[in-house]
Structure 1
Amino acid sequence: MSVYNELRLEQQLCDAVIRVDNVEFPVHKIILCNCSPYFIALFTRWSTPDSRVFDIPNVSPDIMKLIIEFAYTEFVPLTQGNVQELFVAADQFNVKGMIQAICHFLEEHLAPDNCISIWRLTDVYPELSHKALLYTMNHFEEIDLTSEEFLLLSVQELVKIIENDQLNVKHEKAVFGAILRWIACAIEECREYISLLLSNVRLAVTSVDYIAESVSNNELVRGSKECRPILTRALLDLHTNIFSDSILYTPLARPRLPPAILLAVGGRSTVGPTNIIDAYDIRADRWVNVPNNEEDIPRPYSGTVFLDGSVYCVGGFDGLEEFSSVHRFDLGTHTWQEVTQMHSRRYNLSTTVMDGCIYAMGGHDGHGRLRSAERYQPRINQWNVIAPMHERRTDASCTTINGKVYICGGYNESGCLSTAECYNPETNQWTLIAPMSSKRSGLGVIVFADRVFAVGGSDGTSRLDTAEAYDPHTNTWHDVPDMLNSRSNFGIAVIDDRLFVVGGYVGSIDICKIECFDAETCEWSDVRSMEKTRSALSCCVVYGLPNLAEYSAPRGTLSLPDVEEDEIE
Structure 2
Amino acid sequence: MIPKSYLIFEDESFLDSTVAKMNALRKSGQFCDVRLQVCGHELMAHRAVLACCSPYLFEIFNSDIESNGVSHVTFEDLNPEAVEILLNYAYTAQLRADKELVKEVYSAAKRLKMERVKQICGDYLLSKMDSQSAISFRNFASVMGDGRVLSEIDAYIQEHLLEVSEQEDFLKLPRLKLEVILEDNLSLPSNGKLYSKVLKWVQRCLWENGELLERLMEEVQMLYYSADHKLLDGTLIIEDQGLFGVGAEDHVQFVQKNPPRESGKTQRQLSSSSSGATSPSASSTPKSCRSEFKYIASEKTTNNTYLCLAVLDGLLCVIFLHSRSSPQTSPSATPCLLKSLSFEAQPEELGEQPLTAMHYARSGLGTAALHGRLIAAGGYNREECLRTVECYNPKDDQWTFTAPMRTPRARFQMAVLMGQLYVMGGSNGHSDELSCGETYDPRTDTWAQVPELRTNRCNAGVCSLNNTLFVVGGSDPCGQKGLKNCDSFDPVTMIWKNCAPLNIRRHQAAVCELEGFMYVIGGAESWNCLNTVERYNPQNDTWALISPMNVARRGAGVAVYDGKLFVVGGFDGSHALRCVEVYDPARNEWRMLGSMTMARSNAGVAVLGDIICAVGGFDGNNFLNTLEVYYPETDEWSDCTKAFCSSA
State the TM-score bracket (shorter-chain normalisation): 0.5 to 0.7
Verify: 1:354 aligned to 2:417, yes or no.
Answer: yes
Partner of 1:344: 407
CA distance in 2, matches of 1:534, 1:152: 38
Alignment of 1:177-326 (within 5 A): 196=156, 235=196, 238=199, 243-244=216-217, 251-253=309-311, 291-294=354-357, 296-326=359-389
Partners of 1:533 and 1:295 lie apart in 2 by 17
The answer to which of 132-141 and 313-322 deviates more is: 132-141
Q: CA distance change for structure 1 residues 358 and 144 in 2, over 3 Å: closer, same or farther?
A: closer
1:163 aligns with 2:117: no
Aligned to 2:582: 516
Deviation, 1:339, is 0.9
| Structural mapping, 1:512-551, within 5 Å | 512-543=578-609
Indicate if the aligned counterparts of 1:515 and 1:525 stay in contact, CA closer than 8 A: yes
1:335-484 matched pairs, under 5 angstroms? 335-368=398-431, 369-413=433-477, 415-484=481-550
Taking the aligned partners of 2:575 and 2:122, their CA distance within structure 1 comes to 58
CA distance in 1, matches of 2:553, 2:439: 29
Give the match's secondary structure for 1:417: coil
1:332 Cα deviation after fit: 1.2
* Match status 1:129 vs 2:193: no
Q: TM-score scaled to structure 2, two decimals?
A: 0.50
Q: One-letter code of the match for 2:477?
A: E
Aligned residue for 1:74? none
- Cα offset, 1:152, TM superposition: 12
* Counterparts of 1:151 and 1:413, CA distance in 2: 54
Check conservation: 1:503, 1:512, Cα contact below 8 A: yes
> For residues 309 and 155 of structure 1, what CA distance do their matches in structure 2 show?
23
Give the AA of the match of 2:381.
D
- Cα displacement string for residues 83-115 of structure 1 (whole angstroms, at most 9, x for unaligned residues): xxxxxxxxxxxxxxxxxxxxx99994257979x
Give CA deviations for 1:449-483 in whole Å, capped at 9, x if unaligned. 42111111111141111111111111111111221
The Cα of 1:135 is off from its aligned counterpart by: 3.6
Does the residue aligned with 2:528 lie in a helix, a strand or coil? Answer: coil
Change (3 A) 1:517 1:290: farther
State the one-letter code of the partner of 2:146: A
The alignment partner of 1:412 has SS state of coil
Equivalent-residue separation in structure 2 for 1:138 and 1:199 (angstroms): 31
234-243 or 524-533: which moved more?
234-243
Q: Which amino acid aligns with 2:450?
A: I
Q: 1:109 aligns with which of 75, 82, 85?
A: 85
Structure 1 CA distance for aligned equivalents of residues 578 and 598 of structure 2: 6
Q: Mean alpha-carbon deviation: is it higher for 248-257 or for 325-334?
A: 248-257
Q: Which amino acid aligns with 1:516?
A: V
Q: Partners of 2:122 and 2:461 in 1: how far apart?
A: 50
Tell me, yes or no, if the aligned pair for 1:144 and 1:150 is still in contact at 8 Å. Answer: no
The 2-side partners of 1:395 and 1:155 are apart by: 45
Q: Whole-Å Cα distance in 2 between the matches of residues 331 and 109 of structure 1?
A: 24
1:146 aligns with 2:116: yes
Segments of 5+ residues of structure 2 without an aligned counterpart are 1-12, 14-19, 25-79, 162-188, 203-212, 221-294, 297-306, 317-351, 612-627, 635-648
| Distance in 2 between residues matched to 1:229 and 1:138, nearest whole Å | 43
Distance (whole Å) between structure 1 residues aligned to residue 408 and residue 146 of structure 2: 50
Number of the residue aligned with 1:175: 147
CA distance in 2, matches of 1:507, 1:106: 44
Q: Distance in 1 between matches of 2:82 and 2:412?
A: 42
Evaluate the alpha carbon distance shift between residue 429 and residue 483 of structure 1 in structure 2; reply closer, same or farther with a 3 A threshold.
same
SS state at 1:157 partner: helix
Q: Could you give the per-residue CA deviations for residues 411-448 of structure 1, whole angstroms, max 9, x where no partner exists?
A: 13263211010110001111111111111011111112
State the one-letter code of the partner of 1:175: G
SS of 1:371's equivalent in the other structure is: coil
How far has the Cα of 1:350 moved from its partner?
Answer: 1.9
Q: Which has the larger radius of gyration?
A: 1
Q: Which residue identity does 1:165 align to in structure 2?
A: S
CA contact (8 A) 1:112 1:142 kept: no
Q: Output the CA distance in 2 between the equivalents of 1:389 and 1:373.
A: 8
Kept after mapping to 2: 8 A contact 1:165/1:256: no
The alpha-carbon deviation at position 175 of structure 1 amounts to: 3.2
CA distance in 1, matches of 2:631, 2:594: 13
Q: Which runs of 5+ in 1 are unaligned?
A: 1-61, 63-76, 82-103, 123-127, 181-192, 202-227, 258-288, 557-569
Tell me if structure 1 keeps the 8 A contact 2:451–2:494: yes
Mapped contact 2:375–2:389 kept (Cα < 8 A): yes
Q: Distance in 2 between matches of 1:367 and 1:78?
A: 61
Alpha-carbon distance between aligned partners in 1 of 2:21 and 2:308, rounded to the nearest angstrom: 46
Cα–Cα, structure 1 residues 376 and 482, in superposed 2: closer, same or farther, change >3 Å? Answer: same
- 1:146: how far off? 2.4
For residues 427 and 574 of structure 2, the distance between their equivalents in structure 1, rounded to whole angstroms, comes to 22
For residue 301 of structure 1, report the CA deviation from its aligned partner. 0.9
1:117-171 CA distance string (max 9 Å, x none): 989x99xxxxx33434664587589999525974996997275599351353347
What is the distance in 2 between the residues matched to 1:464 and 1:155?
A: 45
* Cα shift readout 1:500-554 (whole Å, capped 9, x = no counterpart): 2111111232121222211111112111222322211121111179xxxx95669
Cα 1:108–1:476, aligned 2, differ >3 Å: closer, same or farther? closer
- Residue type of the partner of 1:359? Y
Within 2, Cα distance between the matches of 1:403 and 1:141? 19
Tell me if the contact between 2:579 and 2:595 (Cα under 8 Å) persists in the aligned partners: yes
Query: What amino acid is the match of 1:535?
Result: S
| Alignment-derived partner of residue 270 in structure 2 | none
1:317-355: CA deviations, max 9, x gaps?
002111111111111111111111111010001211111
Change (3 A) 1:134 1:340: closer
Whichever residue aligns with residue 520 of structure 1, its letter is A
Q: Which amino acid aligns with 2:371?
A: D
Going from structure 1 to structure 2, the CA distance change for 1:144 and 1:360 (only over 3 Å counts) comes to closer
SS at match of 2:146: helix
Q: CA RMSD in A?
A: 4.6
Are 2:88 and 2:94, in contact at CA under 8 Å, matched by a contact in 1? no
